[in-house]
């Protein structure tokens, strides 16, 4: 790993467990996907896990997050229920959205994970609205909103930054800059790469992290969260990261001509799951790996054994009760 952030053994084990759970869950999703048991498109975060894990590790249980259709990592890092996530991907009635929404629309309000959306940028103002309510509540809770580099091109991104700064909302904006919106690199889409500079014009402190070092992300998020709790208003971090798999689906796309395998290999060489695992004592690491495999096997079994939604469920959740 590139960072030199000191870390205590408990944090290391907790961070590794979270990274490993997300990586192995998504690898299992990719393995199952061709069987057609998973009924929704999947946008995998493999390679990007450290952003969700580094940020969520400094949040409290009653803090709130929003994320996107590429949301397995944030959902799990915040403590979303794995069984109900897997059942949701299978379209089963026990899923976290009752089997009606699939991978792109995960939600677990018990873990303070707000509903995700397939529509780029839309969960940013939702998180700000929630942060507005948290500010009025006055209990020191904060919101964190995860989104991709592509989402920063949506008008609602700028509108939300302005509103959040004006009203000093308790919100941490987290841009997962994986360099691409589907197949378009930021260099083809952005007049300048200086995203943080643009954000600062709204009066928001912004920090750019050059790579996906999980402990550097965790440290930056920790400082930002502390400032927000102290009344600073919104904070912004941009984390450079890399999506290892195709935009949507379980496979790779290095033959599509928009990026090279060399680029991937540079990121894989600093894989945060492997790097944090290598810092652990072998027996402790094995115990975590075994626990993670058990949880994933249980979740797959739960999804497979769960019933389909009842036909009469079709009309529930359409309007608020």
Ligand X SMILES: Cc1ncc(C[n+]2csc(CCOP(=O)(O)OP(=O)(O)O)c2C)c(N)n1
Enumerate binding residues for ligand X (CB under 6 A).
Answer: 70, 118-120, 148-151, 178, 180-182, 247
Least Å from the CB of residue 182 to ligand X: 5
Least Å from the CB of residue 160 to ligand X: 14
Nearer to ligand X, 100 or 247 (CB): 247
Least Å from the CB of residue 294 to ligand X: 29
Pairing of strands 143-148, 64-66: parallel
Q: Is the dihedral of CA 167, 175, 118, 39 positive or negative?
A: negative
CA pair distance 131, 168, nearest whole angstrom: 10
Bridge partner residues of 176 (DSSP): 148, 239
Least Å from the CB of residue 74 to ligand X: 11
Are 34 and 52 contacting, i.e. CB atoms less than 8 angstroms apart? no
Least Å from the CB of residue 181 to ligand X: 4
Nearer to ligand X, 3 or 121 (CB): 121
The DSSP annotation for 230-294 comes to: TT---EEEEEE----S-SSSSS--TTSSSS-HHHHHHHHTT-HHHHHHHTS-HHHHHHHHHHHHH
The DSSP annotation for 70-94 comes to: S-HHHHHHTT--HHHHHHHHTT-TT
Nearer to ligand X, 116 or 134 (CB): 116
Least Å from the CB of residue 70 to ligand X: 4
Nearer to ligand X, 134 or 144 (CB): 144
* Alpha-helix runs per DSSP H in 96-207: 123-137, 155-166, 195-200
CA pair distance 259, 252, nearest whole angstrom: 11
Q: Which residue is nearest to ligand X (CB)?
A: 148
Nearer to ligand X, 239 or 299 (CB): 239
Nearer to ligand X, 72 or 141 (CB): 72
């Amino acid at each position: 790993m590139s960072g030199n952030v000191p870390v205590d053994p408990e944090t290391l084990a907790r961070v590794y467990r979270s990274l490993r759970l997300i990586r192995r869950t998504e690898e299992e999703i990719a393995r199952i996907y061709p069987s057609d048991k998973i009924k929704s498109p999947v946008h995998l975060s493999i390679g990007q896990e450290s952003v969700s894990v580094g940020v969520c590790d400094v949040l409290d249980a009653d803090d709130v997050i929003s994320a996107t259709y590429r949301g397995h990592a944030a959902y799990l890092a915040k403590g979303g229920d794995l069984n109900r996530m897997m059942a949701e991907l299978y379209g089963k009635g026990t899923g976290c959205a009752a089997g009606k929404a699939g991978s792109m629309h995960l939600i677990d309000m018990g873990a303070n994970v707000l509903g995700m959306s397939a529509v780029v940028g839309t969960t940013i103002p939702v998180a700000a609205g929630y942060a507005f309510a948290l500010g009025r509540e006055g209990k020191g809770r904060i919101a964190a909103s995860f989104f991709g580099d592509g989402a920063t091109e949506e008008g609602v991104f700028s509108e939300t930054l302005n509103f959040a700064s004006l009203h000093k909302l308790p919100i941490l904006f987290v841009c997962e800059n994986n360099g691409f919106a589907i197949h378009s690199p930021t260099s083809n889409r952005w007049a300048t790469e200086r995203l943080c500079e643009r954000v600062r014009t709204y009066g928001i402190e912004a920090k750019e992290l050059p790579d996906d070092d999980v402990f550097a992300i965790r440290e930056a998020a920790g400082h930002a969260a502390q400032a927000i709790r102290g009344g600073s208003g919104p904070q912004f971090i941009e984390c450079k990261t890399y999506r290892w798999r195709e935009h949507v689906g379980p496979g790779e796309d290095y033959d599509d001509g928009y990026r090279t395998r060399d680029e991937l290999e540079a990121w894989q060489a600093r894989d945060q799951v492997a790097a944090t695992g290598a810092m652990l004592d072998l027996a402790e690491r094995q115990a975590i790996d075994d626990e993670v495999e058990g949880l994933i096997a249980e979740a797959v079994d739960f999804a497979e054994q769960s019933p389909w939604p009842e036909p009469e469920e079709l009309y529930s959740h359409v309007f608020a009760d």
